[in-house]
Chain A
Amino acid sequence: MKKDIILCGVGGQGILSIATIIGEAAMNENLYIKQAEVHGMSQRGGDVQSNLRISSQPIASDLIPRGAADVIISMEPMEALRYVPYLSPEGWVITSSVPFKNIPNYPDIEAVEAELAKIPHVVCIDIEQLAKDNSVPRSANVILLGAAQQALGIDHDKLEAAIRRVFARKGEEVVEANIRALEIGRDKGE
């Protein structure tokens, strides 16, 4: 088993929480993990990404080579495109459809969608509307994770158990909201 995953978005969108849940699930399966993160200046509203690699064999590089990522999970549609050079030919893109416009020259969303459509395997979801409609407003990122579970090749039960462990400190309400979000994402991603 080996999955190279790029998580991306804009600083503050919660990509590291997604990474923590996947990492927890992988650690529980005794898999090898490498997860390169971005800290520091770029977190202030800039583009951020995390390279997450999980494997049943030891992993050498902390960084994913270009053309090798199995999955891109993106909290923002233009940010998904930024990492397309890293995507393997048959790789999956799971992205939020909602643009985050904090720059004056944000491109036409139609142009972004057209580029996404050129990639063979894309799941594009309005996770923010889904989060609102289902009363889990703070768990849009976990909806995205739910939609990615098939591409990740990690069982729903294992992600659910990881969510229980990761959010245990924050109380039962937060745990349940995130598990609901994971299910919503799963149903949407199928």
Chain B
Amino acid sequence: MKKLLLGDEAIAQGAIDAGLSGVYAYPGTPSTEITEYIQGNATARERGLHSRWCTNEKTAMEAALGMSYMGKRALVCMKHVGLNVCADPFVNSAMTGVNGGVVVLVADDPSMHSSQDEQDSRFYGKFAMIPTFEPASQQEAYDMMAAAFDYSEQQCLPVLMRVTTRMAHSRAVVEVAEEPRPQNELNYNSVAANWVLLPANARRRNDKVTAQQAALEADAQASIYNRYEAAAAPQPCGQKYQLGIIASGIAYNYVNECCPAPRPFPLLKVSQYPLPKVLVRRLLDECQQVLVVEEGQPFIEEQVRGVFESHNILGRLTGQLPRTGELTPDSVGAALGLQTPQRAMPEVVAARPPALCQGCGHRDVYSALNEVLQEFDNPRVFGDIGCYTLGFLPPYKAIHSCVDMGASITMAKGAADAGQWPAVAIIGDSTFTHSGMTGLLDAINENADITVVISDNLTTAMTGGQDSAGTNKFEAICRGLGVAEEHLHVVVPLPKNMPDITRLLRQEINYHGVSVIIPRRECIQTFKRHAKERKK
């Protein structure tokens, strides 16, 4: 059966067809559509697969381990920076091993289309000694899901599957199975001593997993996803090809776009790690120079070069390819010496950055905040991750930091500790439950002189309006953490309420302790969507 699927959707369909029992995830571009597809899928609903959003990536990863412990197959999805949030359970999942298969799907965002860095998740796989898959096409992404779950159970290790934005958010026709495989039965095969990571148990597991690496590399060597493609014509005896290519993941497609087979040079396609050294050795032996083409950071290139200068390994480190940013058929073409005539972009074209929607409640929050803060010397507003990060841009220019999920409250506290006043934190509802609550407890325990604004639009807006874990619970959460009743306020961010909002902000900034103001109004995008649904 053929379907036109986004890369993310192909991954989701592949997981369902591989006998998945649950997906655990927090929304994050470019990974969000995987979980959304499973939530909307008829088979997934019939089978009662778990697909509700989690509070953050760490809770997601741990719940997946619990499902695996009971013998069933679990998928964890996140964007690359989400892997930092769940790094603890991820790295330790190699120590526990798995019972039911676990696939950790991480979508990297080279060129930072919607992210704060362009870290390459393959380093995490190597670091944690976890086998890593990197599909080159939507079809391969679909096929790999079943292979990854099988391999995870065969090796008793989770599998990291790494994709990038262009794979996740590009559609292609994918051949999918007619019938999904059955789910695993619940079983009690987990050995408790493997899962209780006391030092004595963990040392034993660490030795086992370390020893297992040679077998993983041998499997990568024989994998159908790693392929040595010989050159069109053999070289005369004793002579080397001028150039050979290593291409991993979707970088393989750009090489094919510029130089389709049959090619004048040999090529090694890599889509399964640990890096298959024997195949790399063969390429090095057959070629004078090797160009490494990979999406993201120079992961393969550094391993092949070693720590010393090596004049015959070319790539991002030697300037043939750009050192940062996502690859394009053009940058790969240039590295292969190709040139195409092209027009320049006319100078008249102006940049058009994204902006907060007209009618968005965050706009009213920033208007109020700016009006009040101009009355103070050197106010600082610590921002967070979400649509409201756009408050940095004109016309508001309202925030002074944005680092990672939850950092608004903790940075405001640290600034207040240093003597800063006013120190204001602005954080969205979903970000607050993801990683803001613990920081607020720190602030309350020390009665830090900060004002926290939880701008609640009742959804996870920036990724497209997914459910937000704390909806209807924020006042209770704040009270429970210890925010004083008289310093906890809820307002409706609308222009007509501006006098009330500014009065409250002024009052709470002048209170020298923790106060929380919750401006609450539904996201204008989900509001429109809900209005449409009601009309039907």
Contacts and interface: CB of A to CB of B under 8 A. Distances in A.
B329 interface: yes
Contacts of A61: 253-254, 256-257, 329
Contacts of B462: 40-41, 44
By secondary structure, the B interface counts as: loop
A104 B272 CA distance: 48
Contacts of B166: 36, 62-63
B345 A46 contact: no
Interface string A37-75: 111111111110001000000011111111110000000
Contacts of B344: 84-85
B390 to A, nearest CB: 7
A39 B30 contact: yes
Contacts of B257: 60-61, 65
Interface residues of B, number: 50
B340 A68 contact: yes
Interface centre among A36, A87, A105, A107 (most CB of B within 10 A): A36
B271 to A, nearest CB: 15
B214 interface: no
Nearest to A108: B348
B354 interface: yes
Contact of B171 (A37, A38, A106): A37
A23 B351 CA distance: 29
Contacts of A46: 352-355
Given A27-B4, A44-B390, A87-B343, A102 B352 contact: yes
A32 B356 CA distance: 37
Contact of B346 (A32, A41, A115): A115
Nearest to A35: B171
A40 B30 contact: yes
B340 A66 contact: yes
Given A40-B30, A46-B353, A61-B256, A67 B114 contact: no
A79 B354 CA distance: 14
A62 B4 contact: no
Interface in B157-200: 166-167, 169-173
Interface of B: 2, 4, 6, 29-30, 32-33, 113-114, 166-167, 169-173, 250, 253-254, 256-258, 260, 328-330, 333, 340-346, 348-357, 387, 390, 394, 462-464
Query: What are the nearest 4 A-B pairs in CB distance?
Result: A40-B114, A40-B29, A46-B354, A61-B257
Given A32-B173, A82-B345, 10 more contacts: A34-B170, A34-B172, A39-B30, A41-B29, A46-B354, A64-B329, A65-B333, A82-B349, A84-B344, A89-B341
12 contacts: A27-B2, A27-B173, A32-B172, A38-B113, A39-B114, A41-B113, A44-B387, A45-B357, A60-B260, A67-B340, A81-B349, A103-B351
